[in-house]
């Protein structure tokens, strides 16, 4: 293995080390691929490695440093990309047989911005098929395993993105978050995961799941890692009409640990949700006490409509998915059978063979919710519930700067443990309302479960375009807690 140990270096340390000549970008690529070779047979975070792209980028950075040129802000930082984001020179499969052979013909804006900032594209990461899932068990190419325990899931749908960072294979990664798919796997793997405000980051080039819900965001070992990555990928994009013209701030510059006077709301009415573990509840209560000790003004707050978020989401999300995935029909895009008897047979068999069970379930749910006679009863009612949730957040942020909840009701569970959709969907109970409202939120490690030894996550929620405040609060909590983010698998292989 390379002498460089990525698991012990933050993205900032990598960048500064390259600038100082302590190591080269090529050595960092070597270190990343060495770590992948050592661990990924067990973890299975990657679906495709892209060494030609990574070393080409590394050599450009090393040449620029030798020439005395100013280096980009993420120079030499190894990065992974969730496999629903397009990048020329890679396949974009969405972990589905439907797109198994699809070659990207254009770049996702967020990916291109990350690489333009100097990050090295190490490879494409595993996920739940088309981002439908909370465990990465739904990948057509096999599950990703949690570096904290290979018997447990890493969360989903961005399980590969989370596991690759937790295992020290890359310094940062990109995931997508439709109902919690960045924050939930971050909590389960002891990493930091940021879901930006809807519109903060361009969605151009990501294969759509729920167009009113999807948002791209970063994973890192530290809050500073996430802040540096957000600076690189955020901003308006002419190719995405939903991207916002809001100013991209120097997010990493505000991480001074000072939260004196910050108004922190402890959301109390959803702490007793079905299936929420006692230690998860206690970790949030302890976090509130920690913020108070740091000088923040902490008080309780309620979000009365948040309890309806799960039901509303599993109408709205599948409805949008059924529309977005209609294009994968064997004619326009995707897997196609060769011996169809007619066009109906072509559609039916191509989609049946190309899509996995959870994808089919969500397409059917969404199509039903949008069908004549049921639209008002289901989709219309779900949108009304969404409006109430938006109003709850708006009212809460008149009084508070950030809100605290658990990220997930429980720590990582074992493979096959969630045998029915409802218990699986409950894992996103705390994260879904944020997507419905379009707010920003971050998950930071909040300790370990005493029984299982698996990580727990604290969710810090901010108002629209309040990433600076959320990151400042998260960095202060991270510093005060002092959580060791190195999982046992990595400690045993360093």
Which candidate, 169, 118, 123, 168, places its Cα nearest to that of 15? 118
Q: Which of 157, 161, 322, 443 is catalytic?
A: 157
372: region left, alpha or beta (phi > 0 left; psi from -120 to 50 alpha)? beta
Which candidate, 393, 429, 439, places its Cα nearest to that of 187? 429
| CA separation for the pair 332, 50 (Å, rounded) | 27
> Using CA of residue 18, residue 24, residue 25, residue 29, what is the dihedral sign?
negative
Q: Which of 7, 181, 443, 446 is catalytic?
A: 181
Which residue in this structure is represented by tokens 């309806």? 308
| Rg for the chain, CA atoms, rounded | 21
Q: Is 149 a catalytic residue?
A: no
Which candidate, 314, 303, 404, 304, places its Cα nearest to that of 366? 314
Residues 6 or more apart from 446 whose CB is under 8 A from it?
283, 284, 286, 287, 456, 457, 458, 481, 483
Q: Is 157 a catalytic residue?
A: yes
Question: Would you call the peptide bond into 157 cis, given omega within 30 degrees of 0 as the criterion?
Answer: yes
| CA separation for the pair 81, 92 (Å, rounded) | 10
Inter-residue contact 137 to 252 (CB < 8 Å): no
Q: Is 450 a catalytic residue?
A: no
Q: Which of 24, 32, 82, 283 is catalytic?
A: 82
Q: Tell me 190's DSSP state.
A: T
Helix boundaries (H) for 300-414? 309-324, 343-354, 357-370, 381-396
Q: Tell me which residues are annotated as active site.
A: 82, 157, 181
């Amino acid at each position: 293995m390379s002498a460089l140990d990525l698991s012990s270096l933050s993205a900032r340390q990598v960048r500064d080390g390259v600038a100082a000549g302590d190591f080269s970008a090529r050595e960092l690529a070597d270190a990343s691929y060495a770590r992948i070779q050592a661990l990924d047979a067990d973890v299975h975070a990657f679906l495709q490695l892209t060494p030609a792209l990574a070393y080409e980028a590394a050599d450009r950075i090393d040449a620029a440093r030798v020439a005395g040129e100013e280096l980009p802000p993420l120079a030499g930082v190894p990065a992974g990309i969730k496999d629903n984001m397009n990048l020329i020179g890679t396949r974009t499969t969405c972990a589905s047989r439907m797109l198994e052979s699809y070659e990207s013909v254009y770049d996702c804006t967020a990916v291109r911005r990350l690489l333009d900032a100097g990050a090295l594209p190490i490879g494409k990461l595993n996920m739940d098929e088309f981002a439908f899932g909370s465990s990465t068990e739904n990948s057509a190419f096999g599950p990703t395993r949690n570096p904290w325990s290979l018997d447990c899931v890493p969360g989903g749908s961005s399980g590969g993105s989370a596991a690759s960072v937790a295992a020290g294979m890359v310094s940062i990664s990109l995931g997508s978050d439709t109902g919690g798919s960045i924050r939930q796997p971050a909590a389960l793997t002891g990493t930091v995961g940021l879901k930006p405000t809807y519109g903060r980051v361009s969605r151009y080039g990501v294969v759509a799941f729920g167009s009113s819900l999807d948002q791209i965001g970063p994973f890192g070992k530290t809050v500073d890692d996430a802040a540096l990555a957000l600076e690189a990928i955020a901003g308006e994009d002419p190719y995405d009409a939903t991207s916002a013209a809001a100013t991209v701030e120097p997010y990493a510059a505000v991480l001074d640990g000072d939260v004196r006077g910050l108004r922190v709301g402890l959301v109390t009415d959803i702490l007793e949700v079905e299936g929420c573990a006692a230690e998860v509840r206690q970790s949030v209560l302890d976090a509130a006490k920690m913020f108070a000790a740091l000088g923040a003004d902490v008080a309780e707050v309620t979000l009365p409509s948040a309890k309806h978020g799960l039901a509303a989401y599993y109408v709205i999300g599948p409805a949008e998915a059924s529309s977005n995935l209609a294009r994968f029909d064997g004619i326009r895009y995707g897997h196609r059978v060769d011996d169809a008897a007619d066009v109906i047979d072509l559609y039916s068999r191509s989609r049946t063979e190309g899509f996995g069970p959870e994808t089919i379930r969500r397409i059917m749910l969404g199509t039903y919710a949008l069908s004549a006679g049921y639209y008002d009863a289901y989709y219309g009612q779900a949108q009304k519930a969404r409006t109430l949730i938006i109003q709850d957040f708006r009212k809460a942020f008149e009084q508070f700067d950030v809100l605290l909840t658990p990220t997930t009701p429980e720590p990582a569970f074992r493979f096959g443990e969630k045998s029915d959709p409802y218990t699986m969907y409950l894992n996103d109970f705390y994260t879904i309302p944020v997507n419905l409202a379009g707010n920003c939120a971050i998950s930071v490690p909040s300790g370990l479960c005493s029984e299982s030894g698996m990580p727990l996550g604290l969710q810090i929620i901010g108002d629209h375009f309040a990433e600076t405040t959320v990151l400042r609060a998260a960095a202060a909590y991270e510093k005060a807690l002092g959580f060791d983010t190195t999982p046992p698998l990595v400690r045993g292989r360093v």
